[in-house]
Chain A
Amino acid sequence: MVDHVGTVFLPGDTIHNLNKSEKTGKIIIGPGLRQESETIIVSKPGILRHKEPNIYWIDSHQKKYVPVKGEQVLGVVTAKAGDVFRVDVGGSEQATLSYLSFEGATKRNRPDVKVGDIVFARFLVANKDMEPELVCMDGAGRSSGMGVIGRDRGFMFTCSLNLIRKILSPGCVLLKTLGNGNRFEITVGMNGRVWIHGRSVVDTIMVANAISAAEFMDKDQIRAMCSKLADRFIVVE
């Protein structure tokens, strides 16, 4: 048994006695942990987390996004370069997005994407040696919510990657409670970008502020904040 789950680790520390899966005898190591031959070394400072039965990762504070294959991000189209768009995702390098990787796109029928558009896309290729590549389709060729998002409307802001994980975690009440009282649409990218579109500008700002304020709040505090906001909001209207 690992008794150090939930304690702080620093880069270079080694971790022993991880729980194996009973069926396969394997251990899944997530972000922040690295395998050096047969030892597990911590590569990010943070708290060791564990999920039954055999998943371990380090929960660390981070603002810089490193592309990871399969993650969905919000990017800004910065250039059209022949067959591909260059997309800024906040990583070390701009990602490429082929014009064919949109739902229903063919060589004849190009998607309507302009420089400056915000796209919600998934990483198809992301490793340290190659240029990251985005697609706006799932495996079956459907858009499934990806593609260009809200041209001429909405507001995008950035926050820490922790906050992104917090508001997207299944146990978080923030978006649910905000959604109870307000009509708005939100898109959250794993790269720390959040796009919000509310009924009015005031509404959008309110949701954005609520999200950035919730970074260090617990569930009860979030609920209290949301109820306060709901009261205020009625007054504004």
Chain B
Amino acid sequence: MAVESSKSKLSKNVLQMKFMQRSVLRMEKEEIEEEAQKMIDEEHWVMAVPQGDKQQRQSQYIVEPSYSRCEDLLFGRMSFKGCNPEIEKLMKSHMQDSELEEASRKESEIGVDDMEMAERYESLIGTVAKKFAKKRQRHEEDVESSSKDQSTEDKIKKKRKFMKPSDD
């Protein structure tokens, strides 16, 4: 609005001067453009779509028009006993594909998820560590675990120590 008011401030006489001709042209062009924009805005129409239809676009239903995907139908070409080796090769690859799919599906069903894996690994750590321990250490650990109820003094006693021979 401020621009328009500033435009209208220029008087007719000023605009008629020769050096103002270019800006007069520009202003006319702008005016025409504005008019056209207004026309478009007025004529522009929007479909009166009810609100419900908008939700339909993110509907909870997916339409699947083919039986073959609903029923997992097999590939339509087959050959038996080497009648058409090319087709038999295709059949084999289709079979493998479906087997792989089945296997991955089963895997995801009965497989171990991360949490379970972590829990199991936690309990495994002790067992694995044992494997890398030296024989003596392993033995000690066994003793420790078997005689947990015994007093700590006992354990200390059992720990082997270098016994200094007597000087005699």
Q: Which residues of A contact B (CB under 8 A)?
A: 20, 25-31, 35, 37-38, 40, 49, 51, 55, 57, 68-72, 120, 144-145, 161, 165, 168-170, 175, 178-180, 182-190, 197, 199
Contact = CB atoms under 8 A, between A and B. Distances in A.
B62 A182 contact: no
Given A35-B59, A40-B61, A145-B75, A57 B70 contact: yes
Given A49-B71, A70-B68, 18 more contacts: A26-B61, A29-B62, A30-B64, A30-B67, A38-B59, A69-B66, A120-B76, A145-B75, A161-B67, A165-B67, A165-B73, A170-B74, A183-B80, A184-B81, A186-B79, A188-B76, A188-B77, A189-B76
B90 interface: yes
Contacts, number: 125
A26 B60 contact: yes
B64 A29 contact: yes
A65 to B, nearest CB: 11
Contacts of A168: 68, 73-74, 76
B65 interface: yes
Nearest to A190: B68
B83 A184 contact: yes
Contact of B66 (A26, A71, A169, A197): A71
B90 to A, nearest CB: 5
Interface in B55-98: 56, 59-84, 87, 90, 98
Nearest to A57: B70
A12 to B, nearest CB: 18
Given A57-B67, A169-B71, A28 B62 contact: yes
Contacts of B165: none
Interface in B119-157: none
Given A26-B60, A144-B90, A185-B87, A31 B77 contact: no
**3 smallest beta-carbon distances between A and B, as pairs:** A179-B80, A183-B81, A30-B70
A164 B42 CA distance: 58
Interface string B109-120: 000000000000
B76 A182 contact: no
Contact of A55 (B52, B70, B90): B70
Contacts of B73: 165, 168-170, 190
Given A37-B52, A168-B74, A68 B65 contact: yes
A208 to B, nearest CB: 14
Nearest to B86: A145
15 contacts: A26-B60, A27-B62, A29-B64, A38-B59, A68-B66, A68-B67, A69-B66, A72-B68, A145-B76, A178-B80, A179-B80, A180-B80, A183-B80, A184-B83, A186-B78
